[in-house]
Amino acid sequence: MKKNIAALLLSLLVLSSCQVTENLEIASDGAGNSVTEIHVEDFFITVLSDFSEFLPESDTSIMDGAIDGYIKSLENASAVSNPEWESLGGNNYKVEFSFASIASLLSDMGAENQSIFTLTDNSIAFSLDINNYPELKSIVPFLADPNFEVYGPEYNQGMSEADYLDMIYFLLGEEGPEAVTNGTVEVLLTVPGTITETKGCTAINGNTASFEFPIIDFLLLNTPLSFSIVWQ
């Protein structure tokens, strides 16, 4: 029971308590590099500390252990090279790795026939909704953990944001809902050419576009998350 509670809290906190910025660069041959910076709210660090008694004793913090586990999963992907992470202090972390191609990376992670990403020689499109969400669970296995699934979009189809935040309040206390609503993800995607068209994202210079969304939109998926970029 203690193990299940710890797994539930860790998965919820890692997913819903952060500001995440990923810089994703794609070269003309399809290879690329990903650099992700993660900031975790002080409130959630405190909650994790309070529940550390449910986990085996360790000299490593819960967050450090979670990120180190993610790096180890990347090390098992043949399309990935040089995965590494570092703690930047102040609840900030950086994760970096290179990949042979997005398609081979997704295949290595268990999503060979996925429909979330569509790539051509001069375009990339991303679309995630409740129908193809199961494909994402193949890529990110902890999303399929029963301890997390009950808080993910499949188990909460049609739930309003207000009702979801009430649930978070019950689980994590009065500071939980605000911390969850403050969580955001931004992907800065640099492509190997001049951007000519964007949809669902914003071009910030000639070859880089920004796609940003609140994490609660992912947790509910009441509307699809999508973007597309075309370049020449």
The full set of domain ranges for the chain reads 2-231
Using CA atoms, how far residue 135 sits from 33, 48, 109, 130, in Å, is: 23, 29, 10, 10
pLDDT of residue 49: 65
18, 41, 28, 37: which is closest to 187 by C-alpha? 37
Model confidence pLDDT, tens digit, residues 74-121: 888 889 999 999 989 888 999 999 999 888 888 777 666 789 999 899
Residues of the chain short of pLDDT 70, as ranges, are 1-17, 45, 47-62, 110-112, 142, 147
pLDDT of residue 62: 66
Question: Which helix (H) or strand (E) covers residue 107, if one does?
Answer: helix 102-108
pLDDT of residue 222: 95
Which pair of tokens denotes residue 123?
Answer: 């375009």
pLDDT of residue 2: 42
pLDDT of residue 1: 43
pLDDT of residue 23: 97
Give Cβ neighbours of residue 75 (< 8 Å, ≥ 6 apart).
83
Global pTM value? 0.83
Give Cβ neighbours of residue 164 (< 8 Å, ≥ 6 apart).
156, 216, 219, 220
